[in-house]
Chain A
Amino acid sequence: MIYAFLTLWIVGALLIIRESKIIRMIIYLGIFSLISSVCFYMFGAPDVAIAEAAISVFSTVFFIVCFEKHFGLAVGVSDVTPESAENRTNLKKYIPPVVFTIFLFVLFIFFIPENPANSYLKDQYLSLFSRDVGGENSVTSIYLGYRVYDTLFEALMLLVGIVSVTHLSRYCETSVKEGKPSDINRADIAVFTIRVICPVMLLFGIYLILNGHISPGGGFQGGAAIASFFVCRYMIYDIYDIPIERIIMVEKIIYVVVVLLAVLFIFIGLHSFLPLPQSVYLITMNLLIGAKVTCGLIIIFYRFIAFERR
């Protein structure tokens, strides 16, 4: 079963690599993310599967928005200019990269030193996590307890990504507001149904965050689910009343609070002084990380939407 899905995974990747039309490439990308999410679930990683399913929505949406605004997303739009598309049929050019890639593949398969099988760390984590950090989901306990450095630097990397996105794009709020109203002809059924379904999505995101320490889920996945609520909101209303500058400010403050909480609880050991249950720390950190991821994804999405056109 798992081999069938992995084969499908590779076939999907080959389709993406060989495709020359942008819109088909994006559709294949969505299917590819779905298949890899199923594979993650089969490897016994429901947390990663939820994260992939929630995040792949965003990478697909970024691609769609980017190409719809700037390259045109009609059926026939190719990803290269026509002159270089003609060169594609020349098969001789493809022989050296194919040989090179196969050579690297064989080299990688056969010529690396054998790594020691360490199940020691796994046994240690699985037997001690509920005593040390608390909670029942060992993945959440690891990324909020033992490996909290990784989470902090991951949040920092997300912040750096957002800073570079805001640096490279110019958000011209006035031109967006005073521009002509969008002439998109929305379906009434779509507006009504998305209005019905939006609270459910918000509820699902909050559920994922609050139950992150006892069931699959957590701050990252719930944050992405809540941010997809804002994407739906944009789709039905098409208004730009999101205060982007304030959200950037909020995100920076949340990052500082996350770092402070982690330092206080993990490195100083505050919960040994206070009569608090351990799950308080986990829920608070999950909430803050969820808020941070939500803010980051909203900022990136609205930057893509309101990227200044010329």
Chain B
Amino acid sequence: MVFDIIEIFSVLMFFISFYGLITSKSIIKSVVSILLMESAVIMFFLSIGYTSGIMPPIGQNPETETVADPLPQALMITAIIIGVAVVAVNLIMLISLYRQCKAKDWDAAKKKSME
């Protein structure tokens, strides 16, 4: 077994949102699924090395045993900010598509663009 139990939650979450991405008929739900996927990845990075009673890595000389790893946290803050930019770009593309072919779901959009 490679993963801890606490990491399996976020892997499960990733595949739930993957399922949502491949089965969703609507474009809106695809955007939301991408958002959920990002959240799962962030949670996975933070849950690595979790022990109960973990402390935030703040202070001059923290004890390294009970303190969370600061490196994934620093990376994930930037990932969250990029996530909102990704959502914004997705939504703008969604609006442009909707204005062109008045379709909220993939099948109708495909049908409209074939014509």
Residues on A lying within 8 angstroms of B by beta carbon are 2-3, 6-7, 9-10, 13-14, 16-17, 22, 25, 29, 32-33, 36, 39-40, 43-48, 51-52, 55, 58-59, 62-63, 66-67, 69-71, 79-81, 83-84, 87-88, 94, 97-98, 100-102, 104-105, 108-110, 112, 114-115, 119, 121-123, 125-127, 129-130, 136-140, 142-143, 147, 150-151, 154, 157-158, 160-162, 164-165, 168-169, 215-216, 218, 220-221, 224, 293, 296-297, 300, 303-304, 307, 310
Q: A51-B81, A80-B26, A160-B85 are in contact. List 17 more A-B contacts (CB 8 A).
A: A3-B9, A17-B19, A17-B33, A40-B43, A44-B67, A44-B68, A48-B76, A48-B77, A84-B107, A97-B22, A101-B19, A109-B8, A114-B2, A119-B69, A139-B74, A168-B96, A300-B88
**Distance of B22 from chain A, by nearest CB (Å):** 5
User: Are A84 and B32 closer than 8 Å at their CB atoms?
Assistant: no
Main secondary structure of the interface of A (DSSP, over half): helix
Q: Can you list, as one digit per residue, whether each of B1-23 has a CB less than 8 Å from chain A (1) or not (0)?
A: 01101101101110111111011
Which of chain A's residues have a CB closer than 8 A to the CB of B28?
Answer: 22, 25, 67, 71, 79
Q: Within residues 36 to 66 of chain B, which ones have a CB less than 8 A from any CB in chain A?
A: 36, 39, 42-43, 46-47, 49-50, 52, 54-62, 64
B interface size (C-beta, 8 A): 78
Partner of B61, one of A7, A130, A143, A150: A130
Known A-B contacts A22-B28, A109-B3, A114-B2; the reply to A47 vs B22 at CB < 8 A is no
A-B pairs with lowest CB-CB distance, top 3: A161-B85, A44-B68, A154-B78
Which of chain B's residues have a CB closer than 8 A to the CB of A14?
Answer: 16
User: Are B77 and A165 closer than 8 Å at their CB atoms?
Assistant: no
The chain B residue sitting closest to A77, CB to CB, is B104
Which of chain B's residues have a CB closer than 8 A to the CB of A55?
Answer: 80-81, 83-84
**Distance of A286 from chain B, by nearest CB (Å):** 12
Bound-state CA distance A162–B82 (Å) is 11
Which of chain B's residues have a CB closer than 8 A to the CB of A165?
Answer: 88-89, 92
**Distance of A121 from chain B, by nearest CB (Å):** 6
User: Are A168 and B70 closer than 8 Å at their CB atoms?
Assistant: no
User: Are A71 and B62 closer than 8 Å at their CB atoms?
Assistant: no
The chain B residue sitting closest to A50, CB to CB, is B77
User: Are B43 and A36 closer than 8 Å at their CB atoms?
Assistant: yes
Known A-B contacts A29-B32, A48-B46, A114-B2; the reply to A127 vs B68 at CB < 8 A is no
**Distance of A231 from chain B, by nearest CB (Å):** 13
14 A–B contact pairs at CB < 8 A?
A16-B36, A25-B32, A36-B42, A43-B54, A44-B54, A44-B68, A47-B77, A48-B77, A70-B95, A110-B2, A123-B64, A137-B58, A154-B81, A310-B99
User: Are B64 and A138 closer than 8 Å at their CB atoms?
Assistant: no
User: Are B70 and A142 closer than 8 Å at their CB atoms?
Assistant: yes
The chain B residue sitting closest to A25, CB to CB, is B32
**Distance of B17 from chain A, by nearest CB (Å):** 6
**Distance of A244 from chain B, by nearest CB (Å):** 15
Bound-state CA distance A186–B52 (Å) is 48
User: Are B42 and A48 closer than 8 Å at their CB atoms?
Assistant: yes
User: Are B62 and A9 closer than 8 Å at their CB atoms?
Assistant: no
User: Are B89 and A164 closer than 8 Å at their CB atoms?
Assistant: yes
User: Are B77 and A161 closer than 8 Å at their CB atoms?
Assistant: no
Known A-B contacts A10-B16, A150-B78; the reply to A66 vs B61 at CB < 8 A is no
